[in-house]
A and B are shown apart, each in its own frame.
Chain A
Amino acid sequence: MILADEPEAGQPLHILPGHSSPGRLERVLRAGAFAVTAELAPPDSADPEEVYARARIFDGHVDAINATDGSGANCHMSSVAVCALLTRVGYSPVMQISCRDRNRIAIQGEILGAAAMGVCNLLALTGDGVESGDHPGAKPVFDLDSVSLLALARTMREESRFESGRKLASPPRMFLGAAENPFAPPHEWRAERLARKAAAGAQFIQTQYCFDVPRLRSFLAAAGDLGLLDKLFILVGVGPLPSARTAEWLRRNVPGVYIPDAVIGRLAAAGDARREGRRICVELMQEIRTLKGVAGVHVMAYRQEEAVAEVIAASGVLQGRVPWNPNRDRKASQQKAAP
Chain B
Amino acid sequence: MYALRLWSTRHARGLETAYRALDAGLAALAPLFRLIGHRHLERPAAAFEKAVKGLFFDCRMCGSCVLHSTGMTCPMNCPKELRNGPCGGVRADGNCEIKPAMRCVWVEAWDGSQRMREPRAAFAGIAPPLDRRLSGSSSWLRHLREQEGARS
Instruction: Spell out A's residues near B (CB within 8 Å).
Output: 99-100, 104, 126-129, 131-132, 140, 142-148, 151-152, 163, 179-181, 184-186, 188-189, 192-193, 196, 199-200, 208, 255-256, 258
Determine the interface band of chain B, counting residues with CB < 8 A from chain A: 20 to 34
Looking at chain B's contact residues, is the secondary structure mostly helix, strand, loop, or mixed?
loop
A190, chain B: closest CB distance, angstroms: 9
CB distance from B152 to the nearest CB of A (A): 25
Give Cα A189 to B130, complex, Å.
Answer: 23
Check: B88 CB closer than 8 A to any chain A CB.
Answer: yes
User: Which of chain B's residues 68-104 have a Cβ closer than 8 Å to chain A?
Assistant: 79-94, 97-98, 104
Cβ of B81 to closest chain A Cβ, rounded Å: 5
Is the CB–CB distance between B90 and A126 below 8 Å? Answer: no
- Which residues of A lie under 8 Å from residue B98 when comparing CB positions? 129, 131-132
A256 in contact with B110 (CB, 8 Å) = no
Query: In the bound complex, how far is the Cα of B109 from the Cα of A188, in angstroms?
Result: 13
- Chain B residue numbers with a CB within 8 Å of A142 are 80-82
Task: Report A69 CB to chain B, min CB distance, Å.
Answer: 15
Q: How long is the Cα–Cα vector from A318 to B98 in the complex, in angstroms?
A: 38
Interface contact B89-A185, CB-CB below 8 Å: no
Complex interface: chain B residues within 8 A of A152 (CB):
129
Question: Could you list 29 A-B pairs, sorted by A, with CB under 8 Å?
Answer: A126-B88, A127-B80, A128-B97, A129-B89, A132-B97, A140-B80, A142-B80, A142-B82, A143-B129, A143-B130, A145-B81, A145-B84, A145-B129, A147-B126, A148-B128, A184-B86, A184-B88, A185-B91, A185-B93, A185-B94, A185-B104, A186-B90, A186-B94, A186-B104, A189-B85, A189-B106, A189-B123, A196-B84, A255-B88
Q: A192 to B129, Cβ gap below 8 A?
A: no
Beta-carbon nearest neighbor of A128 in chain B: B89
> Contact check: which of B80, B94, B110, B127 meets A126 at CB < 8 Å?
B80
Say yes or no for B15: interface residue by CB 8 A criterion. no
A200-B126 contact, Cβ under 8 Å, with A129-B80, A142-B80: yes
Note all chain B residues with C-beta closer than 8 A to A131: 79, 98
For residue A188, which residue of chain B has the nearest CB?
Answer: B110
Q: Who on chain B is nearest to A181 by CB?
A: B88
Most chain B C-beta atoms within 10 Å of own C-beta, residue among A129, A140, A151, A152: A129
Known: A131-B98, A147-B84, A185-B90. 6 other contacts (CB 8 A): A147-B126, A185-B92, A186-B90, A186-B106, A255-B90, A256-B89
Query: Does any Cβ of A come within 8 Å of B144's Cβ?
Result: no
Contacts of B84 in A (CB 8 A): 145-148, 196, 200
Chain A minimum-CB-distance residue to B120: A192
B27 at the interface (CB under 8 A from A): no
Among B79, B85, B92, B97, contact of A196 (Cβ-Cβ < 8 Å)? B85
- The answer to whether B86 and A193 touch across the interface, beta carbons within 8 angstroms, is yes
B58-72: which have CB < 8 Å to A?
A: none
Residues of A within 8 A of B104 (CB): 185-186
A272–B69 Cα gap in the complex (Å)?
52
Is B129 a contact of A144 with CB atoms below 8 Å?
yes
Of the candidates A144, A196, A256, the one whose C-beta lies within 8 Å of that of B88 is A256
With A145-B82, A148-B126: A129-B97 Cβ-Cβ less than 8 Å: yes
Chain B residues numbered 95-152 whose CB sits less than 8 Å from any CB in chain A: 97-98, 104, 106-107, 110, 123, 126-130, 132
Query: What is the bound-complex CA distance between A179 and B98, given in angstroms?
Result: 19
Q: Which residue of B lies closest to A152 (CB)?
A: B129
B79 contacts which chain A residues (CB < 8 A)? Answer: 129, 131, 140
Which chain B residues lie closer than 8 Å to A258 at the CB level? Answer: 92
